[in-house]
Structure 1
Amino acid sequence: MQRSVVLLAATLSGASSLALANEPIRIGVIASYSGAYADYGRQINNGIALYLKENNSLLAGKPVTLIRKDTSGADPALAARHARELATVDKVAAIVGLDFSPNALAIAPIATQAKLPVIVMNAAAAAIPAKSPYIARVSFTVSQVSAPMGDWAAAQGLKNAVTLVADYGPGMDAEKAFTERFKAAGGSVTESLRAPLSNPDFAPFVQKIKDLKPQAAFFFLPSGEQPTALLKVWQERGLEAAGVKLIATGEATDDSFLPSQGDLALGLVTTHHYSYAHPSDANRRYVAAYEAEFGKSLRPSYMSVAAYDGMNALGKALEKTSGSLDGDKIMEALRGLTFESPRGPIMIDAETRDIVQTVYVRKVEKIDGQLVNREFERFDAVR
């Protein structure tokens, strides 16, 4: 029976044993290929495509067929339907991709029932891998990049802050992680503000922060137009001049959107796990290959890197199983897997199946005429 790998949710079917020598491994990709978040799918698709090009379109020596499924953003019901079809109709070997946490959470029961490995390439809610033993994550968690900001902010002498997050799972994770670490280091959070995920108006939130007069404001919003909208209101209302330091997670200055943000983003300090300007040979090679293949109009972002790494992880796992597509064997092969990514060294934790990686403190600067997230401090092996 032909097996497939589903890209974008990250699960592998455990029903088959060895793929026939010339039989393609079908890979299903669940991502946003249309609508407001189409760039998410584009980044994920590009990372996958670049890995396959560099490896002659093979995983562990077997040809690959991709099956793409579009969710157009956060649509858990549609994601679950896609996963069901991939598992039962397309008979995939794995699901990879998954840009939104509600979508990843929605397919977890399907992954468990079908014993289908899922490799999460973006969705960042902390609880996702715990929802199914067939889910592994190669991207990040919002908590993972928010907690170090609490430590860093306190180390700068900041004593009080306000948080502003998108009102959904990852936003709650960001709020909780930053607040706990900032308080543990001696700081206090005077107000916790939550903006609606869809069509938020940031003006009243920014005015509230201005009225509260904290030393700092920490925010988390999904990558895209929302961070730019917030930065614009922040500047218009004169918060910087009022002495409120703005800090955030790396979604605020996503490399693929940073050039369009312009000087609004200059000086913003964020914590995240990847920068287009990360100074390693592996990243320089990755950026050069990405730009040669896809041009320079859309920079590679943390999503493309996670997709590239996800395919690398799946390939390494299949090598360890000697080509077996058995879901249990693949998940066992993913546990404890380590390799060098364009972002730095990464590991899939053997117990949690979640990512362990370096989190960087970065500042938006203009270098050689380009806005970049320049890394200047780091937290190693963050779980």
Structure 2
Amino acid sequence: MDRRSLLTGAAALGAGLAMPALAQDAPLKVGLILPLTGPFAAYGQQIEAGFRLYLERHGDGVAGRRIEPVVQDDAGTADTTRRIAQEMVTQGGVEVLGGFGLTPLALAVAPVSARAGVAQIVMVAATSSVTEASPMIVRTSYTTPQVTSVIARWMAGDGLSQAMTLVLDYGPGQDAEKTFARVFAEAGGTITESLRVPMQNPDFAPFLQRVADARPQSLFVFLPSGVGAPFLKQWVERGLDKSGIRLVADGSVTDDIVLPQMGDAALGLVTGLHYSAALPSETNRAFVTEFMERYRMRPNFMAVAAHDGAHLLFEALKKTGGDATGKGLVEAMKGMAFESPRGPIRIDPATRDIVQTVYMMRVEEVGGQLWNVPFHSFEAVADPGKA
């Protein structure tokens, strides 16, 4: 019976079958399923660039296997992501899956990776529960609560005792709202109101009017990458930048791929995130320099997560001797720790999630460009719901 028949039978029976390992001298196909068209195309571009840069820097061979990226565009549509993943593992000879620019895309593939026994490296999707959807998932990006909990602790420690929250109404946004409210309250703060903006064609005007009317001491904002610019534009147009309300945001609002074009509206904004292209370590400086020379754009947190995903795969294959069978590969990834451009990171063996430094940053103009400049760090942060 061939490999495709085995997998088809497994799916029909609802049982997981481990894929047979290929010969060690055969190419190891890594299926990168990315949004390369549509509104989230920039996500896919960053992920692909980060992964390919690792291969350029370190070579494409490891443990007798040559890594062969197989890139396909899902246009940010979950049904397409699932279909591509199924075809990759049953027909395309793909042994490892990676990418996943949004939570619904990662979750759509979770049943596929679980049934087929294929390692699934999540490089962006940040909803906390993603790793629980399949025992084959390992995450190299971050979780929203991991970052939001730090922002709430920092705000409370900086003398803020009252806050409103404004989030986009989808999985990570809901994670951010709940985590911020809980951690801020535990630190003695009070949440006066929580606002959820519909994800489809978000219009911030009515919500910012509610903020203006309420005049809270501070506002915490969570928005996905690419949505921050129109929010800040409306914030300034309504004069809220001069209202005395302290605005603090998740770092996706001033994501490195959009920050250079955001203009003065972003200056001085304080955010929290696990990566900034402005981190001053030699490891990061080398990464940013090579990335910008090769791709003519600034790397963001998605690019570094893909770069680290490639490193995690290489190191795991060294431990397995080139065997990419899912269960063994995932076991090899558990507990792995190394120095990333973002700082020290570790894969928690109990959760298959990442533990890392989270930075508080301020938007500043340096060398004629806007950068997220770190001013405080919280080390070895895990998802607070999993710690």
Give the alignment's TM-score, normalised by structure 1: 0.94
1:63 aligns with 2:66: yes
Q: Provide the C-alpha distance between the structure 2 equivalents of 1:79 and 1:18, rounded to a whole number of angstroms.
A: 24
Give the secondary-structure state (helix, strand or coil) at the position aligned to 2:280. Answer: coil
Match of 1:186 in 2: 188
1:50 aligns with 2:49: no
Gaps of 5+ in 1: 4-12
Match of 2:380 in 1: 381
Once the two structures are TM-superposed, the CA of residue 61 in structure 1 deviates from its matched residue by: 4.0
CA offset digits 1:180-201 (Å, max 9, x no partner): 1111111111111001112111
> Do the aligned partners of 2:334 and 2:348 also contact (CA within 8 Å) in 1?
yes
CA offset digits 1:219-247 (Å, max 9, x no partner): 111101x2111101110111121111111
Q: Provide the C-alpha distance between the structure 1 equivalents of 2:143 and 2:341, rounded to a whole number of angstroms.
A: 18
> Do the aligned partners of 1:60 and 1:316 also contact (CA within 8 Å) in 2?
no
Q: Provide the C-alpha distance between the structure 2 equivalents of 1:260 and 1:159, rounded to a whole number of angstroms.
A: 33
Once the two structures are TM-superposed, the CA of residue 306 in structure 1 deviates from its matched residue by: 0.4
> Do the aligned partners of 2:24 and 2:64 also contact (CA within 8 Å) in 1?
no
Percent identity between the two aligned chains: 46
Which deviates more, 252-261 or 53-62? 53-62
Aligned-partner residue type, residue 239 of structure 2: G
Structure 1 stretches of 4+ with a deviation exceeding 6 A read none
Q: Provide the C-alpha distance between the structure 1 equivalents of 2:24 and 2:203, rounded to a whole number of angstroms.
A: 55
Q: Provide the C-alpha distance between the structure 2 equivalents of 1:58 and 1:246, rounded to a whole number of angstroms.
A: 47
CA offset digits 1:132-155 (Å, max 9, x no partner): 110000000111111111111111
Q: Provide the C-alpha distance between the structure 2 equivalents of 1:102 and 1:18, rounded to a whole number of angstroms.
A: 30
- Judging changes above 3 Å, is the alpha-carbon distance between structure 1 residues 61 and 267 closer, same or farther for their aligned structure 2 residues? farther
Q: Provide the C-alpha distance between the structure 1 equivalents of 2:194 and 2:348, rounded to a whole number of angstroms.
A: 32
What pairs with 1:190-209 in structure 2 (closer than 5 Å)? 190-209=192-211
CA offset digits 1:205-225 (Å, max 9, x no partner): 10100101101111111101x
1:325 aligns with 2:288: no
Give the secondary-structure state (helix, strand or coil) at the position aligned to 2:36. Answer: coil
Q: Provide the C-alpha distance between the structure 1 equivalents of 2:82 and 2:47, rounded to a whole number of angstroms.
A: 19
2:36 to 33, 51, 64: 33
> Do the aligned partners of 1:105 and 1:128 also contact (CA within 8 Å) in 2?
yes
Q: Provide the C-alpha distance between the structure 1 equivalents of 2:192 and 2:350, rounded to a whole number of angstroms.
A: 36
Aligned-partner residue type, residue 266 of structure 1: L
CA offset digits 1:259-287 (Å, max 9, x no partner): 01011110110110000000101001101
Match of 2:12 in 1: none
Aligned-partner residue type, residue 15 of structure 1: M
Q: Provide the C-alpha distance between the structure 1 equivalents of 2:64 and 2:257, rounded to a whole number of angstroms.
A: 32
CA offset digits 1:319-351 (Å, max 9, x no partner): 000111211110100000000000000001010
Once the two structures are TM-superposed, the CA of residue 87 in structure 1 deviates from its matched residue by: 1.3
> Do the aligned partners of 1:19 and 1:325 also contact (CA within 8 Å) in 2?
no
Aligned-partner residue type, residue 288 of structure 1: T
> Do the aligned partners of 1:159 and 1:187 also contact (CA within 8 Å) in 2?
yes
What pairs with 1:359-374 in structure 2 (closer than 5 Å)? 359-374=358-373
Match of 2:119 in 1: 117
CA offset digits 1:344-381 (Å, max 9, x no partner): 00001010000000000000001121211110111110
Aligned-CA RMSD value: 1.4
Aligned-partner residue type, residue 34 of structure 2: A
Once the two structures are TM-superposed, the CA of residue 62 in structure 1 deviates from its matched residue by: 1.8
Aligned-partner residue type, residue 192 of structure 1: S
Match of 1:301 in 2: 300
Give the alignment's TM-score, normalised by structure 2: 0.93
> Do the aligned partners of 2:24 and 2:323 also contact (CA within 8 Å) in 1?
no
Once the two structures are TM-superposed, the CA of residue 2 in structure 1 deviates from its matched residue by: 9.6
> Do the aligned partners of 1:348 and 1:354 also contact (CA within 8 Å) in 2?
yes
Give the secondary-structure state (helix, strand or coil) at the position aligned to 1:66. Answer: strand
Match of 2:21 in 1: 17
Q: How many corresponding residue pairs?
A: 369
Once the two structures are TM-superposed, the CA of residue 18 in structure 1 deviates from its matched residue by: 5.1
> Do the aligned partners of 1:14 and 1:329 also contact (CA within 8 Å) in 2?
no
Q: Provide the C-alpha distance between the structure 1 equivalents of 2:61 and 2:378, rounded to a whole number of angstroms.
A: 35
- Judging changes above 3 Å, is the alpha-carbon distance between structure 1 residues 26 and 262 closer, same or farther for their aligned structure 2 residues? same
